[in-house]
């Protein structure tokens, strides 16, 4: 077990100890790798100084259907093959990667412990607490913890975040990287990586997002994730089964196409004229309704009763005009998330294509940012 980030880091900076070579004098170069249910997405960033970054390279490689199911690697060879192809497509020499587990695969719990504990004492305390909250033996999990900061109203205590995941969940992703000829140095959590990328988006909001409530809605192929932040701190997370696969399936049914043909047509166009009015518009209407329902769950289960902004992420955010449909349904200012908006771009990046791809690269971007964490 290692304490891998400084005590001033927020919970998004949690890192799993997977017996890899973390402790280096200077953080090594890293590529952020997001393995979703539909694609492998890679992002490489560089630091240009004064917390300004440059997008060096990125790649998106679609995965075969059912290669990843409910966040679990179901076909290791297929995922490793796609990762290898994406890495080769990037043309980079960096082989160190940062990966993430789905939030549903991770148990997290905040605890309060006495301030001033030595690391060994902290580890003992964390293991004792973890035994109460983890429903299986500690021998079966990868466990890590992060000191968040002073406990509210308790000057002699500190707040610590514990995170644990079954070892096989971690090992499957490490094995994918190794099979692709890469080395996993960081194992993060998808929701924490999203929050890291959100920090870049917050800079684009009025007042840097301070004193505002912002909903980040990530709509992927099979799942919609809602992350709500107040004053740039996560206050609520929820996921529900809804995603772009429903649009793909309707395209298949309506136009008698295979799954592969429907997915390609959805991305590249070429569908009949009635596609937009009879298929796409009903889907976006349903999607906006799902976003509104997710926000209602948030309001009904917390003390909050409004959000100031919605940021749309995930592959579905690329649907033209979706931000207007969601804004109309929710009556909340809605934007398409782009963590790269204020970054410089290398000459190999096509700006227009990056803008289209940006919302699907939120997690990969957040993972790539781990390169700049202090050791």
* Contact of 371 with 44, CB cutoff 8 Å: no
Which CATH number is 80's domain given? 3.30.420.40
Q: What is the pLDDT of residue 65?
A: 86
pLDDT tens profile 129-169:
888 888 878 888 888 888 888 888 888 888 888 888 999 99
pLDDT bucket at 117, cuts 50 / 70 / 90: confident
Alpha helices in 180-280 (DSSP H): 190-202, 245-255, 259-268, 275
Residues 137 and 259 reside in one and the same domain: no
Higher pLDDT, 161 or 91: 91
Helix/strand/coil (H, E, C) string of 6-36? Answer: CCCCCHHHCCCCCCCCCCCCCCCCCEEEEEC
In this model, does residue 374 exceed pLDDT 80?
no
Which residue bears the tokens 């109309």?
328
pLDDT tens profile 9-35:
333 334 444 433 333 335 678 999 999
Q: What domain range includes position 223? A: 205-338
Output DSSP code: residue 314. Answer: S
* Contact of 133 with 107, CB cutoff 8 Å: yes
Residues 105-119 have a mean pLDDT of: 87
Burial (CB < 10 A; 0-12, 13-18, 19+), residue 37, is buried
pLDDT tens profile 334-356:
999 999 999 999 999 999 999 99
Looking at the DSSP bridge assignments, the partners of residue 109 are 162
Residues 276 and 328 reside in one and the same domain: yes
pLDDT tens profile 37-53:
999 999 999 998 877 89
pLDDT tens profile 186-208:
999 999 999 999 999 999 998 89
Among candidates 59, 2, 5, 105, which has minimal Cα distance to 370?
5
Residues 54 and 177 reside in one and the same domain: yes
Domain total in the chain: 2
Q: What average pLDDT does the structure give for the chain?
A: 88
Is 24 part of a structural domain of the chain?
A: yes
């Amino acid at each position: 077990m290692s304490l891998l980030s400084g005590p001033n880091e927020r919970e998004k900076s949690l890192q799993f100890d997977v017996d890899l070579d973390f402790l280096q004098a200077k953080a090594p170069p890293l590529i952020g790798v997001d393995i979703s249910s539909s694609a492998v997405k890679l992002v490489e960033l560089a630091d240009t100084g004064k917390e300004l970054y440059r997008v060096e390279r990125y790649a998106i490689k679609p995965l075969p259907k059912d290669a990843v199911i409910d966040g679990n690697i179901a076909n290791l060879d297929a995922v490793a093959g796609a990762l290898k192809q994406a890495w080769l497509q990037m043309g980079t020499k960096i082989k160190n990667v940062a990966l993430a587990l789905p939030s549903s695969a991770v148990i997290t719990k905040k605890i309060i412990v006495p301030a001033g504990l030595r690391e060994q004492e902290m580890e003992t305390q964390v293991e004792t607490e973890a035994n109460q909250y983890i429903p299986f033996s500690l021998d079966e999990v990868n466990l890590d913890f992060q000191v968040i900061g002073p406990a509210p109203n308790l000057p002699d205590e500190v707040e610590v975040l514990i995170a644990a995941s079954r070892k096989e969940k971690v090992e499957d992703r490490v094995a994918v990287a190794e099979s692709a000829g890469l080395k996993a140095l960081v194992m993060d959590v998808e929701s924490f990586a999203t929050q890291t990328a959100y920090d870049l988006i917050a800079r684009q909001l009025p007042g840097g997002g301070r004193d505002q409530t912002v909903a980040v809605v990530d709509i992927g192929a099979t799942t919609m994730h809602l992350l709500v932040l107040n004053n740039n701190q996560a206050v609520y997370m929820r996921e529900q089964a809804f995603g772009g696969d429903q649009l793909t399936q309707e395209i298949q049914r309506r136009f008698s196409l295979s799954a592969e043909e429907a997915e390609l047509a959805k991305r590249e166009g070429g569908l009949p004229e009635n596609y937009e009015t009879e298929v796409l518009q009903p889907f976006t209407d349903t999607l906006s309704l799902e976003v509104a329902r997710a926000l209602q769950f948030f309001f009904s289960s917390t003390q909050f009763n409004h959000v100031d902004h919605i940021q749309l992420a995930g592959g579905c955010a690329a649907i033209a005009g979706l931000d207007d449909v969601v804004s109309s349904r929710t009556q909340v200012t809605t934007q398409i998330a782009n963590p790269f908006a204020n970054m410089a771009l290398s000459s190999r990046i096509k700006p227009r294509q990056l803008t289209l791809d940006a919302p699907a690269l939120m997690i990969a971007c957040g993972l790539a940012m781990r390169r700049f964490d202090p050791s």
